[in-house]
Amino acid sequence: MVLVAIGLVLAGCGGTSYKTYTFTVPSSSMEPKLQTADVVIADVKKPVKRGDIIVFNTPRAAVNACGEGGTFIKRIVGLPGETVSEDGQGSISINGKRLNEPYVSARARALDTNFHGKQWTVPAGDYFVLGDNRSQSCDSRYWGGVPSKNVIGPVAKINRG
């Protein structure tokens, strides 16, 4: 799950510069959107929001739960202070309202039953992140939130590996 990163600085129009980093996707946790060996570019200065796929440095709890550290790529589903729950069919709700997740297949939901009926509260300053390929993802359900200081940035571009 460790990603290879190469830093780049790009100049935008009008003299505005922004910083991006390039990462290679190491696992199947974000399939089908991201495939193993795809290369993604994360925009360091862009703010993140629910639904964004983000690149982040793994919190210590993730290293302990997953057996690996470094940099992960997951999708933000829960924001600071929200309650995230997973029902008996693998659907995610935020504060009791079902989240529309067209990027998670019925097969991915059916294969992942470990967290059915569970609930989590996202700590202040953290994001709750999940892989789209839930049964292949070591994510916030295992280790909790990602502190905002660990977020490198949202994925801005995907290049097929």
Active-site positions read 29, 74
CB contact at 8 A, 56 and 152: yes
Round to whole Å and give the CA distance between 26 and 140: 18
3-class DSSP assignment, residue 125: coil
Round to whole Å and give the CA distance between 142 and 95: 19
